[in-house]
Structure 1
């Protein structure tokens, strides 16, 4: 892995970085990055001091004054070059993501591909940041709206997607003319340092002002600092619902903007009219991909009672073929959980299942042996539960799949919508009426609703996010770019008189 770090240009690991600069003062606090793959220490990353944070804010504010004046297509050209740099470093960065976070190598590469895709999307967007033109009720007047950048965009990202979610926010923020400050998870700091290095090289070649892209590393105190900082008009935060409520309250208390993408508790409804070959494959990838640590992971299967036994038996057969181990080995399907704290949460959830009368179809356990020396590997499990069980109301970041039966379609929808979270959802059916009802106003209450694909694996072209305790934010595609800009309505009077709106008379 040290060779990978060297190839990515990471030699001196210091944080509190602004584009192209490694701040050297106050190397007291630090983070040690350990891999959940083998438990080994990868490197030490020094934390951002309060003095360095203030310096970075000042640099960012100065950079914004210049960067916002660059024409959007020119900003898009810089982002195009970032995408090209990511293509060149896809293998190495994907391997680092896999090793530091623990997801499979295929998923590590896939995450970097998401970064490349959002770069491509943003390049196109650089020539489409348009507003509306409206007809005025007053003669000789023209009305239109335009969009301006906000300034500094703060990005707080989670460990499970250590690079992709940053890029969703950052590329859109940059193409809109903003500058960014990124606070990554303290569990995956090296992935962030690698991204900063790749970006810094591109920016330096293009003569960008120092401070467009900024990285700060440390614990949650830094995240709280961003949330409370009036110099940061927009804070985009990805993580747990508890974290999101704290960030939302802090940002709202100063009347700033927050973009929250929080917990998911996602379900797939499997009807008697489902293609079970598709349904089983989607359910398994959704449940065990990234070891169940995606916000879009499939937590619940809501299965019609007439096909429950068939689905259960096919799941058991498929689970028996899962290979668990080092995620850098492409033969393995499931890697480790992020750390031993996550393992404890997994064990706690299993114990709660037992207390609530859950029936274990496949027992879960912590895996032991030389191949699992980090202590972070667990066995994916399946539990049949009642729809009103408390355990299914919460999100556990682990490969635990809950099976629930239903009798009629309205009951299935009610079960699907009965949890506090509202991120992703899916239905497996070849029945057109069922599919359309699932997507209708009386169907899924989630921000993402799919037919005959699983809950996990969103494309960057569509806006990503959910409702209820998922936070209501939207990132990535569609018109999510508007989150990173302020709307301005303009009226131009090109006549020789001054008529008032609504026909009001005001004579002097």
Structure 2
């Protein structure tokens, strides 16, 4: 692989360019094997490399190393742990162009989105460094004289991370940066569709560890493989907390297994996200916000806009403009300048989109766009984003299809549209476009959106790392990234200290044994 370091991106195939990046980032040859799992690029469908998978025995050994590493790492002061994350952030800055490009090559994101994902990693490192000096507990008023009551926070143990293909590196960082400053070790099982970006990230982690010195062996482990390897991580009692990002179906399998052994679950699952366009909306603003939210990442974001409710009074002004945008958006190789919609990740995603559109037509939907897009030199699975005008919210509208389909429906009454908005299983993200203060405040109130993210005059994105990311209902209830999400990676202890010479009991209880 080292011979490919000098390959120019303009003249290289996807495979050649990806292998050159892997070599520059220091991914060892031992990570690959002729009989390993093929790593494909959705841009062209070509095999980039064959990755050596983790065996079950190796996975269990890696968890064992992580458990031992935790016992050493937890004793290091939190600000010192933060220094490691600071160095990781520096290494990510240095590798941003290469790692962002690799995200494009392996996940099919356009260049700016690939770079943006690595920027999220850098941002969460910055957040975590500050957090390493702010792992606060409370001092609590006590009814007993000469006593002090307080809470302390302690590292929890091995943190397992299962991530999805659509954010192949950022989701790991949201969890890992916080878990590491909290004093946990991390074992990561990335999607089998994006193994190369995981290998590259691990190489960057090892660079930071070398600069830091004294990082316990096994502090950050990566398990490469399919479902059976993920099950080992889910079932191992040495992993007290596991963050899993994926479908609601996956969560229904993972959640009960974790509950059975009383492990902590951070679940970030499906998102059938909606937006409302109210009569007072700035339609130019709404048009731009809706277009990115619905078509960005080829509809393969967990926060992708999938349902749009437009008030009768502005429907005929907005929807034809949206249809025009859908017909003119540039589709193609995500490496090319100006491309806004790249390929779907694989054939299964394309087939799922086709089934959903067929079902929508049967339910009376009017489909604009959709279908295979063949006017592209690359041989990936490219599709036309689809806007579907639906007579009502039914059939495929009620479930998430991980593809660029936007279902559009009319509404007349605000209370009724809130009810329709909330009438799906998932509860991840939502937004409203309105200049009416009462509608905006009602939407984010207790009687409004039932989602974990509720935005006003922007799309249903939760990309900034300062806020906690996650949702309710079938989205799983977990929270990652900012705010006080760090508490999920630690255990809380309530401490009472008696510094007097008497032993008063709380609530006036008397228990005198005459000693």
**Residues of 2 paired with 1:450 and 1:370: CA distance?**
36
Q: Which residue of 2 aligns with 1:3?
A: 20
* 2:220 counterpart of 1:213: yes
* 2:408 counterpart of 1:391: no
**Residues of 2 paired with 1:444 and 1:424: CA distance?**
9
Does the Cα contact within 8 Å between 2:60 and 2:232 map onto a contact in 1? Answer: no
The CA deviation string for residues 61-83 of structure 1, in whole angstroms up to 9 with x for no partner, is 11111111111001111101100
Match of 2:62 among 48, 56, 81: 56
Does the Cα contact within 8 Å between 1:387 and 1:415 map onto a contact in 2? Answer: no
Counterpart secondary structure, 2:259: helix
**Residues of 1 paired with 2:152 and 2:374: CA distance?**
59
**Residues of 2 paired with 1:276 and 1:351: CA distance?**
30
Stretches (4+) displaced over 4 A: none
**More off after superposition, 251-260 vs 204-213:** 204-213
Q: TM-score, normalised by structure 1?
A: 0.96
Q: TM-score, normalised by structure 2?
A: 0.94
**More off after superposition, 213-222 vs 49-58:** 49-58
Q: Which residue of 1 aligns with 2:414?
A: 409
**Residues of 2 paired with 1:46 and 1:450: CA distance?**
43
Match of 1:253 among 237, 260, 265: 260
CA-based RMSD of the aligned residues comes to: 1.2
Counterpart secondary structure, 1:320: helix
Q: Which residue of 1 aligns with 2:271?
A: 264
**Residues of 1 paired with 2:30 and 2:442: CA distance?**
53
* 2:492 counterpart of 1:487: yes
Q: Which residue of 2 aligns with 1:18?
A: none
**Residues of 2 paired with 1:372 and 1:38: CA distance?**
5
* 2:114 counterpart of 1:108: yes
Counterpart secondary structure, 1:497: coil
Q: Which residue of 1 aligns with 2:11?
A: none
Does the Cα contact within 8 Å between 2:87 and 2:212 map onto a contact in 1? Answer: no
The CA deviation string for residues 409-458 of structure 1, in whole angstroms up to 9 with x for no partner, is 11111111111110000000001011001011110000000000101252
Does the Cα contact within 8 Å between 2:332 and 2:382 map onto a contact in 1? Answer: yes
Counterpart secondary structure, 1:371: coil
**Residues of 2 paired with 1:148 and 1:294: CA distance?**
34
Match of 1:418 among 423, 442, 451: 423
Does the Cα contact within 8 Å between 1:30 and 1:218 map onto a contact in 2? Answer: no
- Aligned-pair distance for 1:212? 0.6
Counterpart secondary structure, 2:70: helix
**Residues of 1 paired with 2:57 and 2:425: CA distance?**
40
**Residues of 2 paired with 1:365 and 1:372: CA distance?**
17
**More off after superposition, 182-191 vs 343-352:** 343-352
Counterpart secondary structure, 2:232: helix
Gaps of 5+ in 2: 1-16
**Residues of 1 paired with 2:460 and 2:337: CA distance?**
23
Match of 1:499 among 482, 498, 504: 504
**More off after superposition, 192-201 vs 219-228:** 219-228
Match of 1:378 among 379, 383, 388: 383
* 2:29 counterpart of 1:12: yes
**Residues of 1 paired with 2:247 and 2:260: CA distance?**
20
* 2:136 counterpart of 1:119: no
Match of 2:350 among 343, 358, 363: 343
The CA deviation string for residues 322-377 of structure 1, in whole angstroms up to 9 with x for no partner, is 110111113100000001111111111111111111112x1310122552412x10
**Residues of 2 paired with 1:295 and 1:13: CA distance?**
34
Does the Cα contact within 8 Å between 1:95 and 1:105 map onto a contact in 2? Answer: yes
Q: Which residue of 1 aligns with 2:235?
A: 228
Q: Which residue of 2 aligns with 1:37?
A: 43
The CA deviation string for residues 139-167 of structure 1, in whole angstroms up to 9 with x for no partner, is 11000000001110000000000000000
The CA deviation string for residues 253-285 of structure 1, in whole angstroms up to 9 with x for no partner, is 111110000000111100110001110001000
Counterpart secondary structure, 1:211: coil
**Residues of 1 paired with 2:122 and 2:428: CA distance?**
24
Gaps of 5+ in 1: 16-26
